[in-house]
Amino acid sequence: MRSCILGLLMALTLQSLHAQKSPVKFGDIPMEDLKMKVYDKDSSASAVILSDYGEAYLSINAVNVALMFEKHVRIKILTKEGQKWGDVAIPVYHSGSAEERIIKIKGTTYNLENGKIVETDLSKDGIFKEKFNRNVNLLKFSFPNVKEGSVLEYSYTLTSEFLSNFPNWQFQYDIPVRWSEYWAMFPDFFTFEKYMQGYLRLASYEVKNKAGTNFQTLAHHWIMQDVPAFKEEPFMTCEDDYVSKINIALSHVAFPGEPVREIMGTWAKFNANLLESEAFGKSITGFGSLRKKSEELTAGMTDNQQKIAAIFNYVRQNIEWNGDKDYYADNLKDIVEKKKGTTGDINLLLASMLEKVDIPTEMIVLSTRDHGFVRQQYPMDDQFNYVVCSVKMGDKRLLLDATDKYLPIGVLPERCLNGHGLVVSKAGYSWINLEAKGKSKTVVSTDLTLKETGELAGKINYTYDGYDAHSMRKDYFTNGEADYLKKFLADKNWEIQKSEFQNLKEIEQNAKQLHELVINEHCTMAGGAIYLNPYVTSQLKENPFKLEKREYPVDFGSPEEQTYMSRIAIPEGYVVDELPKPKVLMLPGNAAKFSYSVTQTGNVLNVVSMLQINKSLFVQDEYLHLREFYNQVVAKQAEQIVLKKK
């Protein structure tokens, strides 16, 4: 397809489809920018992008047609934290023997020293390439002599044979942008899908029609200025879902007198291509050498569920995930020998081994939470970066991911809970909602005795279920018991006398940790009274939602449930002077619920509290209610029990 497009383009009269100009001249740095100490529109900014300019166009000559992308950036460093902007990484795509190239790269650091501008140029020796994933390398460099007050400037040109990889443009970053401008020049026989995302308005958008000898060029021109920094907020998916950005994808090509050539295609075509791919569908049906091991693992088993568990556990325990996310596989035989692979390697190996014992498996390609939402209206393969297995058990679907050693079978890692995934099937593609099957759940139970000195002594037990159990197990086995306890106790004034951990290797069961302990400095003694907060742990001390208005949804990933139960024996000679009143809070539709009560039986106080988040996603219109809900939870959990002497 690419060669056909190249041939037809080169048959046209030769011309280069660009003639634009950056708003700033390289090396011409205004003195006021060099003297800038604070950015007037955001005094908290660690750096500011003074100018971000780009243009993309086609360059056509007698032997080649190339997609060209020119970029020119200028950045002001304001604080030590902002110096990280002196490290630059440029993604470079490659496939087969073809690879994009970066040419005409230059960079300069400007510092004002004793009233004079000192320039330090980027050394070619400081530019290097690093693998990012199967199809992308990163061209990296670091600016020399970067300090507070520096102005950094760089420019480069990317040349690409991949004409369908038209560059997107990001206007917003986690530092402010004073000026952002992008030109995209499309020949009129190229049809592109364009969609704007984010919550900021463009300062300008225009389309200019530029006539050539044989075809017209549509020059799209976007400008955004005084762009505020993107502020990450709690409970978000990846930043890329929400920053202001223009996304561009080549849909189809219609040359004069030629039939329309689909480039973007359809999901049905994508599904068919995956099934025929040597690195996807044929990896599952091929590699007959895996049959022997699959049959050994399932020998004597007649129940498919047992067979699935046996093969799943073998792959999970024997093949280590290398941390790379993708949805294709290398040679599966090599993966077994190396005992390490990507998400694609591991889960396609699992599917292939299941296929060898006659268990039909479909694959689900998806985008992880740190990669961004999948927009179903745009059938583009680069929206995906992950794959898991799907096995039907009667009328139910069992989702399998063998990359994680600390999750029960049938539970996807939290990174996968991100909207919808595409089911790749011989029967045709479909979409599946990737939602949590259960809650992230923790139950804390204490049995404590309060002494006249304010010291608390007794036992505290934690029981974890769902993703909370996964997090606890991962921390424990990654760090070892000693370091786990050190980290666990880092923010607690506890003297641990004995600790016990239960069910950590039994992944299907709740994980538990139990401690015998003494707690000092928790109570306040004043005027013969003891002031006691009943939460010796797990108190929500501040509202995670601080902004009065939120532009983005709140995404918890999975429903949550935190239960706190405490039995506290008060010392002889003391009586209860004040007890917090019971309270129940509930959001509409039972989206969230908080209950709290403290009761007294003889000299024993019983505290029962439960915080439930019953759905994963709260849209912007629900934010104010959710924020106020948390305000009241924080306030209630801060209330004290007051004891006084008889």
3-state helix, strand, coil in the chain (%, to 5): 20, 40, 40
pLDDT number for residue 142: 96
State which H helix or E strand residue 485 sits in: helix 481-488
| pLDDT per residue as tens digits for the range 429-444 | 999 999 998 889 999 9
Cα–Cα distance for residue pair 412/431, rounded to 1 Å: 16
Tokens of 355: 């296929």
Here the tokens at position 12 are 């046209």
Sign, CA dihedral 71-94-332-358, equals positive
Give the SS3 label for residue 214: coil
Beta strands, E only, 405-535: 420-424, 430-433, 440-450, 456-465, 494-502, 511-519, 524-526, 529-532
DSSP for 487-523?
HHTTT--EEEEEEEEESSS-TTS-EEEEEEEEE-S-S
For residues 89 and 514, give the distance between their C-alpha atoms in angstroms, rounded to a whole number. 47
Secondary structure (3-state) at 262: strand
HSE-CB at 453 with a 13 A cutoff on CA atoms is 7
CA distance 384 to 138: 19
Distance CA 574, CA 130 (A): 68
Residues of the chain with pLDDT under 50: 1-2, 10-15
pLDDT at 175: 98
Whole-angstrom distance, CA of residue 201 vs CA of residue 184: 19
Say what the pLDDT of residue 210 is.
76
Q: How many residues does the chain have?
A: 646
Instruction: Name residue, tokens 């030629």.
Output: 258
- Label residues 17-51 b or e (16+ Cβ within 10 Å = b): bbeeebebeeeebeeebeebeebeeeeebbbbbbb
Rounded CA gap, 226 and 224, in Å?
7
Q: 253-263 in b/e burial notation, b at 16+ Cβ within 10 A?
A: bebeeeeeeeb
| Structure-block tokens of residue 495 | 């003297």
Distance CA 385, CA 132 (A): 13
Would you say the pTM of this structure is higher than 0.85? Answer: yes
In order, the DSSP letters of 11-37 are TSPP-B------SS-TT---HHHHH-S
At 7 the pLDDT is: 53
Report the C-alpha gap between 557 and 194 in whole angstroms: 29
Question: Other C-beta atoms within 10 Å of 65: how many?
Answer: 19
What b/e readout covers 105-118, taking b as 16+ CB neighbours within 10 angstroms?
Answer: bebbbbbbeeeeee
- Collapsed DSSP state (helix, strand, coil) of residue 360: coil
- Tokens linked to 219: 């020059």
In terms of Cα–Cα distance, which of 41, 37, 31, 52 is closest to 153? 52
Maximum CA extent, the chain: 101
409-to-315, 350, 504 alpha-carbon distances in Å: 12, 13, 15
Amino acid letter at 263?
I
- The span from the CA of 370 to the CA of 372, in Å, is 6
CA 34 from chain centre, in angstroms, equals 35
Structural contact between residues 614 and 590, judged by C-beta atoms closer than 8 angstroms: yes
Enumerate the β-bridge partners of residue 205. Answer: 222
Q: Which of 457, 491, 621 is nearest to 554 (CA)?
A: 621
Alpha carbon 225 to its chain's center:
27
Dihedrals phi, psi of 252, to nearest 5 degrees: -155, 165
DSSP 285: H
Q: What is the pLDDT of residue 609?
A: 98
CB 347 within 8 Å of CB 330: no
Residue identified by tokens 């000026």 is: 179
**What distance lies between CA 144 and its chain's CA centroid?**
31
Give the model's pLDDT for residue 481. Answer: 96
Class of residue 300 by CB neighbours under 10 A (exposed 0-12, middle 13-18, buried 19+): exposed
User: What is the rounded distance in angstroms from the CA atom of residue 72 to the CA atom of residue 92?
Assistant: 17
Torsion-angle region of 257 (φ positive above 0: left; ψ -120 to 50: alpha; else: beta): left
pLDDT value of residue 6: 52
Phi, psi dihedrals of residue 237, rounded to the nearest 5°: -80, -150
- The rounded Cα 181 to chain-centroid distance in angstroms is 27
Rounded to a whole number of angstroms, the distance between the first and last alpha carbons of the chain is: 90
Decide: helix, strand or coil at residue 553.
Answer: coil
Residue pair 612/633 in contact by the 8 Å Cβ criterion: no
What local confidence, expressed as pLDDT, does residue 66 receive? 86
